[in-house]
Amino acid sequence: MKQQRLLSGWVVGLCLVLTGCQLSSPSANGEDLKIGTLLPITGDLSQYGTPMQETADLLVKTVNACEGVLGKPVTLVSADTQTDPAQGTQAMTKLVEADKVVGVVGAASSASSSAALPIAVRNQVVQISPASTSPVFTERSQTGEFKGFWARTAPPDTFQSQALAQLAKQKGFKTVAILAINNDYGNGLVSAFIPAFKALGGSITNEASPTFYDPNTSTFDSEVNQVFKGQPDAVLLVAYPETGSLILKSAQELGLLDGKTALMTTDGMKEANIAELVGKDAQGNYIVDGMLGTAPSAGGPALEAFQKRYQAAFKREPSVFDPNTWDAAALIVLAAEAAKETTGPGIRDQLQAVANAPGEEVTDVCEALALLRDGKTINYQGASGTVDLNPQGDVTGSYDIWTIDQQGQLTVSDTIAITGSDAAQTTE
């Protein structure tokens, strides 16, 4: 008995040393499905994080009202990344090691997802982000680093960069200067936008050294003066609402928003209240009046039904990444039902099957669960899109062109469809 205990202790010790080793899956077959959310309830992206959390809660309540997964209720555990990679790492560690989740919806920022992913992969936990769009994830996935435990329901910024380049060309911008947050999101989008815009005949005035800002900085006069120097046709601001609003206030105070240089931005700034966050000028006009942006469209087959359900629950319109959050959580529960087990590897192995053809196309998550219980195969059609996943866990998509009007309202005017090639098509 003593020798057996010593041998058992030696095996456990060896497994702890070998970080890739796992003695057992976090949730055994037959247990209730437990999933987590890794979202920015506080910090620079908190405007998005709270409604995203509420959307995940709504999905789980909806699923539990129609018999749950494998006949048992789904449990949801939330964790706050604080829009900080270090905090995101701690939060993911808690979710997988203490809470024993087998799937995670999140993170929002690419930097937080990147920091948390090794923990998810090592513990065989599926991580599906509704909003992390850095092209770096595609590259890392192609190397096999994620072992199939990663996917996202928002398309990568290689696609958004093409949409931005198309938008700049449509508006007649020949020169663009770049000011971007210095993290995975900013770096990835900038590195993809430069060649996309140049391919359409555009020029980046600070191509040799794009201006990046520290997300922990609160004053931006130096960066703003640098990027507006020479009066480019437009400045592309890649930012989040909290710091992005401070940057635009600084530009206004320095007299740089005089109409000679247009403002372009991305999904990170698509916040319904962005005009109020930035404020008004001395004449009482919104500073961001006329600002243009792109953001992944929420135009999936299930969008209308999702919007009605969301409005009934929260008495407001969904935020930009709420449909993506709904779909991320839906894919996890559907894959678990298809796998007939509540384990990370089981969910991973069924993600492609429930998201892609062949299979019966279905938009309602409860109807999809019922079909799976009857032994049918499904092709889930989401609120954010058709959510067809490629081997790297990416979805293609289309992009809204949005702007801020004189009343400070965010409105969507056009859509640019991106297929993953250089071709793009604009529709009214």
- Comparing 161 with 259, which gets the higher pLDDT? 161
Is the pLDDT reported for residue 251 higher than 50?
A: yes
19, 181, 332, 339, 343 from 101: Cα distances, Å: 19, 32, 11, 16, 9
Q: What is residue 154's predicted lDDT score, i.e. its pLDDT?
A: 93
Judged by DSSP in three states, 190 sits in helix
Is the pLDDT reported for residue 423 higher than 90?
A: no
What is the average per-residue pLDDT within 252-258? 92
Eight-state DSSP code of residue 171: T
Contact present, 271 and 299 (Cβ < 8 Å)? no
Eight-state DSSP code of residue 95: I
Is the pLDDT reported for residue 424 higher than 90?
A: no
Tens digits of residue pLDDT in 225-238: 999 999 999 999 99
Residue with tokens 């032994």: 375
* 272-56-130 Cα angle (round to 5): 65
Dist. CA 365–CA 300, nearest whole Å: 14
Residue burial 401-422, b: 16+ Cβ < 10 Å; e: rest: bbbbeeebebeeebbbbbeeee
Is the pLDDT reported for residue 28 higher than 80?
A: no
Q: For residue 249, count CB atoms less than 10 angstroms from its CB and return exposed for 0-12, middle for 13-18, buried for 19 or more.
A: middle
Q: What is residue 419's predicted lDDT score, i.e. its pLDDT?
A: 56
Tens digits of residue pLDDT in 298-351: 789 999 999 999 999 999 999 989 999 999 999 999 999 999 999 999 999 999
Contact present, 237 and 180 (Cβ < 8 Å)? yes
Eight-state DSSP code of residue 289: T
CA–chain centroid gap for 267, Å, is 10
Is the pLDDT reported for residue 10 higher than 70?
A: no
Instruction: Write out the E strands in 210-346.
Output: 211-213, 234-238, 262-265, 292-296
What is the average per-residue pLDDT within 270-288? 95
Is the pLDDT reported for residue 358 higher than 70?
A: yes
Closest by Cα among 155, 159, 151 to 330? 151
Tens digits of residue pLDDT in 121-136: 999 999 999 999 999 9
* Percent of the chain residues topping a pLDDT of 70: 91
Tens digits of residue pLDDT in 167-187: 999 999 999 999 999 999 999
What is the average per-residue pLDDT within 30-42? 93
Q: What is residue 226's predicted lDDT score, i.e. its pLDDT?
A: 96
Dist. CA 209–CA 163, nearest whole Å: 22
Q: What are phi and psi of 388, to 5 degrees?
A: -70, 125
Is the pLDDT reported for residue 57 higher than 90?
A: yes
Contact present, 363 and 62 (Cβ < 8 Å)? no
Q: What is residue 115's predicted lDDT score, i.e. its pLDDT?
A: 97
pLDDT category at 259 given cuts 50, 70, 90 is confident
Is the pLDDT reported for residue 392 higher than 70?
A: yes
CA–chain centroid gap for 13, Å, is 37
* Percent of the chain residues topping a pLDDT of 90: 83
Number of neighbours of residue 233 by Cβ within 10 angstroms: 19
pLDDT category at 30 given cuts 50, 70, 90 is low
Mean pLDDT over the full length of the chain: 90
Is the pLDDT reported for residue 245 higher than 50?
A: yes
Q: Which domains does the chain have, with CATH numbers?
A: 28-154+300-380 (3.40.50.2300), 158-289+398-427 (3.40.50.2300)
Judged by DSSP in three states, 122 sits in helix
CA–chain centroid gap for 51, Å, is 13
Q: What is residue 81's predicted lDDT score, i.e. its pLDDT?
A: 97
Instruction: Write out the E strands in 289-387.
Output: 292-296, 360-362, 378-380
Element (H, E) at 92: helix 85-93
- Comparing 28 with 142, which gets the higher pLDDT? 142
Q: What are phi and psi of 262, to 5 degrees?
A: -80, 160
